[in-house]
Structure 1
Amino acid sequence: MTAAPQPMPAPVPSPVSGPVCGLCGQRAVVNWQRRLTDEEFAAHLAWEQERRDRALQLADPQLPAPDFGPLPQPAQCTTSVFACAAHAIALESAALVHHGACTAPAAADLPGCNCTPEPAPAPDPETSPADVTGVLPPGWTIGDR
Structure 2
Amino acid sequence: MHWQRRLTDDEVTAYLATYQAKRDEQLLLADPQAAAPEPGPLPLATDCTRVVHGCINHAIGIDAAAHVHAKTCTAPQADDLPGCNCTPEPLPAPEPMLEPVQLPASWTT
TM-score range, shorter chain: 0.7 to 0.9
**Post-superposition shift, 1:85?**
4.3
After superposition, the CA RMSD in angstroms is 1.9
> For residue 73 of structure 1, what is the aligned residue in structure 2?
44
Q: Deviations over 1:59-79 (max 9, x none)?
A: 111111111110000110001
Amino acid at match of 1:61: P
> For residue 122 of structure 1, what is the aligned residue in structure 2?
93
Q: Retained in 1: the 8 A contact 2:5–2:69? A: yes
Aligned residues: 100
SS in 2 for 1:118: coil
1:79 and 1:119 mapped to 2: Cα distance?
17
Q: Retained in 2: the 8 A contact 1:99–1:115? A: yes
> For residue 54 of structure 1, what is the aligned residue in structure 2?
25
Structure 2 alignment gaps of length 5 or more: 101-109
Query: Identity across aligned pairs (percent)?
Result: 57
Amino acid at match of 1:122: A
Q: Retained in 2: the 8 A contact 1:83–1:105? A: no
**Post-superposition shift, 1:87?**
2.6
Aligned ranges for residues 1-145 of structure 1 at < 5 Å? 30-126=1-97
Amino acid at match of 2:51: S
1:84 and 1:127 mapped to 2: Cα distance?
40
Structure 1 alignment gaps of length 5 or more: 1-29, 132-145
Larger Rg: 1
Structure 1 residue runs of 4 or more that deviate by more than 6 Å after TM superposition: none
| TM-score between the two structures when normalised by the length of structure 1 | 0.63
2:35 and 2:80 mapped to 1: Cα distance?
53
Q: Deviations over 1:46-94 (max 9, x none)?
A: 0000010011111111111111110000110001000134531111110
| TM-score between the two structures when normalised by the length of structure 2 | 0.83
Amino acid at match of 1:98: H
